[in-house]
Structure 1
Amino acid sequence: MTMDLHEQARQILRGNDRGGYTLPTHGLYPYQWNWDSAFAAWGFATFDIARAWDEFDTLLASQWDTGMVPHIIFHEVDPSYFPGPDVWSTGQSPATSGISQPPVAATMARLVWEMDKAAGHDRLAEIYPKLVAWHRWWHEVRCVHGPAAIIHPWESGRDNCPDWDIGMDGVDGSRVGPYTRRDTGHVDPSMRPHKEQYDRYIAMVQFGVSVGWDQRQIVADGPFLMADPGITFILLRAHADLIVLGEVLGHDTSEIEGWAAQLRSALPEIWNADLGAYDARNLRNGRFAGVLGSGALLAYVADAGNPTLDEHLIRVWDAVSYGIPSADPQADIFDARRYWRGPSWPFLNALIALGFREMGRHDLDARLRRETAQAIAKNGFAEYFDPHDATACGGANFTWTAAIWLTWAGQDLEHAKGAA
């Protein structure tokens, strides 16, 4: 069984490979997604290191002149996906979306480089300036209020998580016009965002088009602007990894060190003392979301945990059986199978576990790895899982789940065998 799961994972990566970039899965996501590609590279590195670096090259080849790396790159026309390039209307070639996504690429590039430093040195040297430019964009355009901010829930990568509800309330989706969603034709609609949410998502895209995707104007005047703990922590961690890579390559990293110090000093602005946890914050009015979300628990990957947050972590984790839930199981908003409102995500578990290991909490890493492996062994390489019973949710044969098996979850094979 062990070899079967490893080979299945490799076959998923190969099957989703489009020659330099990887689809998250067939049908549901027919293009290249930003942070999905970074995890795909990590997975490819376990059996094809050159292909791993190709993934970074293709992703960064569509970087905007501003430094932004978009969240979707539309390499080929595929009418099965909405909203497609005609809706985004960014004027890029190849066509892209007009927002970014969590900047995990530097972290994944370091992990890939560490697998074979000699083979990766020159490839790393080629992409390093592009990673620096992207981090500079985050600092100058999205961190102007302190923590990292997002202009659309999709930019967070955690699209419909409860963190964004208070910001979404201020978005008018009543005038977006008719459209046909494609996601609910591929998976159970009960596992996807509601139509009312989707209307507001499209309204935000339409605003971006109306201002020619001027990112500074969107930050200043757009209908949605929220501080995102998840991206804040991912960017903090990515800064640290980029500094290490820069030093290896002989670069002056003082600019990145300055960004990292400034971002860490902004963490108190997203600490909700009433909640006892990091929390998303509406930057239009200063209000906290008031919910314990998955973004808060990414604090561990940035060495930003504390005893109060530890208590919340164990409480929500003990309430389920298969990994860390993406929302608090004891909250009214919890929905075990609806996208980011409750399910457990293997790739997010792997990111959090990376922090556990560096804290020396190998017990927590082992537990999270074991539970993630059990879910995959029971029900396959799904996009995400019901954290109570490991029901497979979302897309099947998912790239980043296969990558996480090869790089992390598949290390705990005896427990996975017992669960299958």
Structure 2
Amino acid sequence: MNVHIDQAKRILAANDRGGYTVPTDRLYPFQWNWDSAFVAMGFALYDIDRAYRELERLVEGQWADGMIPHIVFHAPSDTYFPGPNVWRTKHRIPTSGITQPPVFAIALRRLHEAAGSDAEERTLRLYEAALKWHRWWYSARDPDGTGLVALLHPWESGSDNSPAWDIALARVPTTTDTPVERKDTGHVDADMRPRDEDYRRFIHLVDTYAACGWDPAKQWEKAPFKVAEIQTTAILLKAGEDLEALARAFGRVDDVAELAAFNVLTRKGILAQWRPALSRFISRDLLSGQDIEAATQAGFIPLLSVDLEKPVADALVDEMKAWSKSLKVAFPTTKPGIRSWEPKRYWRGPAWAIINWLLIDGLTRNGHADSAEELRKSTIAAIEAEGFAEYFDPVTGEGCGGQGFSWTAAAYLWLERRVVPAHKNQMSEHK
């Protein structure tokens, strides 16, 4: 028996708080949205009931308008800021007021396929929640029908502190109505976390939207930060494909048509963001109208959800190889060597197992199984050498950030058992 599999399961058990999993003790003491979707996929390999429970607990936080918030505060904790009193949301249980990448439906399809007909009712209830959230994305975050969804806060990207936000975030004032009482730097080295000035901007945005009563139309109008984001949009499209597959399985003809239309629109929107000169896809700053050319992992995530023309997929893979050259752990979240590259600071360079998981699925989908297998082995080796850290310094391999991290454990469970075949039919998983 692989000792690391046992360890991964022990971490998920240790971070279980009663049907939902915290990312890690103290640093993140609540249920996080996309973390839980990855964790559910990990549980699905050995405890399908617990996997469903993870998504069911997350949906307890879903708002009437369909949004699933990025944090659900099931139980109080004083080790994290900003807590419920800062968010000032009016949901029946305390939640944050913003969202996170919609990995939920991707996880739900995997759970459904693992459980088969035994869990059909549970799947259907979660499918309804996922569909409501999907509709929310298009109405609240793409009111102009571009196919690209916008984020109104960097935290919504999951890549909170990415160099992709530097220019757009610099326009956000550092004034806050809320005293900023950081707790994260008490748990983790400050050199690995966002800077104080950026934290004040993050809280300025929270204050702004709380003053709008968290009304999506008012937030859209008042947002001092508004980015049509390529990583979130690509994840939304994969979620849309998986929801469409579930709708077909359930014979929901009207839903199939609605979801197919969303997916066509978003596929077009993503393809329009390809920049051959950069060999990657880019986000757009909706307030300035400018391309966001910051070199981050987000530009490669469309591999996950689009069947790309061969020259485009090949260019992406060549660029990924150039970024990974001579690194101990791939894949870096910022291009090595550029001014904003910080290999140990949160989202400004480190390698993350869950990002690698998405890229591995995307590389496999687009006919680059060898590159997928290389990245899978690099991720497994990093975890086996350094443990289940939040992320890894790609240069030294050191495990950084929070330790005993749930989504790293889930990623290990998934990737350890999944060797990418060398000559796989590139579309077999997606038909």
Q: How does 1:272-351 map to 2 (within 5 A)?
A: 272=275, 274-303=277-306, 305=308, 306=312, 307-351=314-358
Q: Is the 8 A contact 2:163 2:334 kept in 1?
A: yes
Aligned residues: 411
Tell me, in whole angstroms, the C-alpha distance in 2 between the residues paired with 1:359 and 1:322. 22
- Report the secondary structure of 2:291's partner residue: coil
Residue by residue over 1:323-363, the C-alpha shift from the partner in whole angstroms, topping out at 9 and shown as x without a partner, is: 21101113111000101000000011011111222223221
State which drifts further: 317-326 or 368-377: 317-326
Which residue of structure 2 lines up, in the alignment, with residue 390 of structure 1?
A: 397
Which residue of structure 2 lines up, in the alignment, with residue 120 of structure 1?
A: 119
Amino acid at match of 2:217: R
Which residue of structure 1 lines up, in the alignment, with residue 201 of structure 2?
A: 200
Q: Does 1:216 align with 2:217?
A: yes
Is the alpha carbon distance of 1:221 and 1:268 closer, same or farther for their aligned partners in structure 2, counting shifts above 3 Å?
Answer: farther
Which residue of structure 2 lines up, in the alignment, with residue 265 of structure 1?
A: 268
Which residue of structure 1 lines up, in the alignment, with residue 379 of structure 2?
A: 372
Note the C-alpha offset of 1:273: 5.2
- Report the secondary structure of 2:329's partner residue: coil
Q: Is the 8 A contact 1:165 1:289 kept in 2?
A: no
- Report the secondary structure of 1:124's partner residue: helix
Q: Is the 8 A contact 1:166 1:282 kept in 2?
A: no
Q: Does 1:156 align with 2:163?
A: no
State which drifts further: 338-347 or 313-322: 313-322
Which residue of structure 2 lines up, in the alignment, with residue 80 of structure 1?
A: 79
Amino acid at match of 1:41: A
Tell me, in whole angstroms, the C-alpha distance in 2 between the residues paired with 1:186 and 1:371. 27
State which drifts further: 366-375 or 2-11: 2-11
Note the C-alpha offset of 1:304: 5.3
Note the C-alpha offset of 1:118: 2.8
Structure 1 residues not aligned, in runs of 5+: 413-420
Which residue of structure 1 lines up, in the alignment, with residue 360 of structure 2?
A: 353
Which residue of structure 1 lines up, in the alignment, with residue 34 of structure 2?
A: 35
Note the C-alpha offset of 1:116: 2.7
- Report the secondary structure of 1:281's partner residue: strand
Note the C-alpha offset of 1:284: 0.5
Tell me, in whole angstroms, the C-alpha distance in 1 between the residues paired with 2:120 and 2:340. 46
Which residue of structure 2 lines up, in the alignment, with residue 416 of structure 1?
A: none
Which residue of structure 2 lines up, in the alignment, with residue 14 of structure 1?
A: 13
Q: Does 1:139 align with 2:138?
A: yes
TM-score for both structures, normalised by structure 2: 0.92
Tell me, in whole angstroms, the C-alpha distance in 1 between the residues paired with 2:267 and 2:93. 35
Amino acid at match of 2:198: Q
State which drifts further: 108-117 or 170-179: 170-179
Is the alpha carbon distance of 1:171 and 1:9 closer, same or farther for their aligned partners in structure 2, counting shifts above 3 Å?
Answer: same
State which drifts further: 261-270 or 121-130: 261-270
Note the C-alpha offset of 1:280: 2.0
Which residue of structure 1 lines up, in the alignment, with residue 129 of structure 2?
A: 130
Amino acid at match of 2:219: I
Residue by residue over 1:130-165, the C-alpha shift from the partner in whole angstroms, topping out at 9 and shown as x without a partner, is: 111100000111123421110000001000101111
Tell me, in whole angstroms, the C-alpha distance in 2 between the residues paired with 1:177 and 1:96. 17
Which residue of structure 2 lines up, in the alignment, with residue 61 of structure 1?
A: 60
Tell me, in whole angstroms, the C-alpha distance in 2 between the residues paired with 1:411 and 1:261. 30
Tell me, in whole angstroms, the C-alpha distance in 2 between the residues paired with 1:20 and 1:177. 32
Residue by residue over 1:261-288, the C-alpha shift from the partner in whole angstroms, topping out at 9 and shown as x without a partner, is: 1111212453345534211211001112
State which drifts further: 40-49 or 115-124: 115-124
Tell me, in whole angstroms, the C-alpha distance in 2 between the residues paired with 1:67 and 1:37. 18
State which drifts further: 166-175 or 206-215: 166-175
Q: Is the 8 A contact 2:353 2:408 kept in 1?
A: yes
Tell me, in whole angstroms, the C-alpha distance in 1 between the residues paired with 2:306 and 2:6. 34
The match for 1:400 among 386, 389, 407 is: 407
Tell me, in whole angstroms, the C-alpha distance in 2 between the residues paired with 1:7 and 1:355. 28
Amino acid at match of 1:357: T
Tell me, in whole angstroms, the C-alpha distance in 2 between the residues paired with 1:22 and 1:390. 26
Aligned Cα RMSD in Å?
A: 1.5
Tell me, in whole angstroms, the C-alpha distance in 2 between the residues paired with 1:148 and 1:330. 30
- Report the secondary structure of 1:83's partner residue: coil
Q: Is the 8 A contact 1:272 1:278 kept in 2?
A: yes
Tell me, in whole angstroms, the C-alpha distance in 2 between the residues paired with 1:388 and 1:12. 26
Q: Does 1:46 align with 2:45?
A: yes
Tell me, in whole angstroms, the C-alpha distance in 2 between the residues paired with 1:183 and 1:269. 38
Tell me, in whole angstroms, the C-alpha distance in 2 between the residues paired with 1:411 and 1:270. 31
Q: Is the 8 A contact 1:375 1:385 kept in 2?
A: yes
Note the C-alpha offset of 1:228: 0.6
Q: Is the 8 A contact 2:108 2:126 kept in 1?
A: no
Tell me, in whole angstroms, the C-alpha distance in 1 between the residues paired with 2:408 and 2:417. 11
Tell me, in whole angstroms, the C-alpha distance in 2 between the residues paired with 1:346 and 1:247. 31
Note the C-alpha offset of 1:317: 2.1
- Report the secondary structure of 2:72's partner residue: strand
